[in-house]
Amino acid sequence: HHLSLTDESVEGYNTNFKMSPPLRSRKDVEALQRGLKEGIIDCVATDHAPHTQEEKMLEFDEAPFGAIGLETALGVCLTELVHPKKMTFSELVRRMSLAPAQILRLPEGFGEIRKETEANLTLVDLHEEWEVKASDFISKSTNSCFIGKRLKGRTVATLCMGKLWVYREELKR
């Protein structure tokens, strides 16, 4: 959220935009994007914070902080960073895969494709344009600040520990 949204998003008091830390100015968003590109920021994290509709329907001051981000993270980063050429796809993959695996000290082979290791990778359609809809989420919650936003680039499937996970029914055929 902090790589793409500004404090102007909060003007309508939609609690899906209530974050901790709060959203900041366009200048701050640009600084975060530069920091990610230059490697000052090691990786992208989603802080996936699911909340029920009832929790998020409270007055702004009373509603919990956070929003879900796991299902939109790649699409947002592709739309905001890769397609406008602020960073390359390879740089983004490094920040969303290899660097987190290294930071978390995951076993050898995580975050990269390597012969004779179980597959742990994401298949991506870089050019699919789609609208974020609450009804499409697999998450148990729908408190996303990106509902209604058009994104370019989408996760198609994931191989985790060699097991294939396909996300959309039309792809399972």
pLDDT at 172: 52
Q: Which residues are known to be catalytic?
A: 47
86-120: pLDDT as tens digits: 999 999 999 999 999 899 998 877 777 888 888 88
Burial class (CB in 10 A: 0-12, 13-18, 19+), 41: middle
Amino acid 59 reads E
Rounded to whole angstroms, the Cα distance separating 165 from 140 reads 17
For the entire predicted model, the pTM comes to 0.91
Instruction: Please check whether residue 156 is in contact with residue 171, taking contact to mean a CB–CB distance below 8 angstroms.
Output: yes
- Name the residue among 89, 170, 168 with its Cα closest to residue 133: 168
pLDDT at 69: 92
User: Across all residues in the chain, what is the average pLDDT?
Assistant: 91
pLDDT at 116: 81
The answer to whether the bond into 22 is cis (omega within 30° of 0) is no
25-45: pLDDT as tens digits: 999 999 999 999 999 999 999
Confidence label for 169 from pLDDT (cuts 50, 70 and 90): low
pLDDT at 168: 64
pLDDT at 11: 92
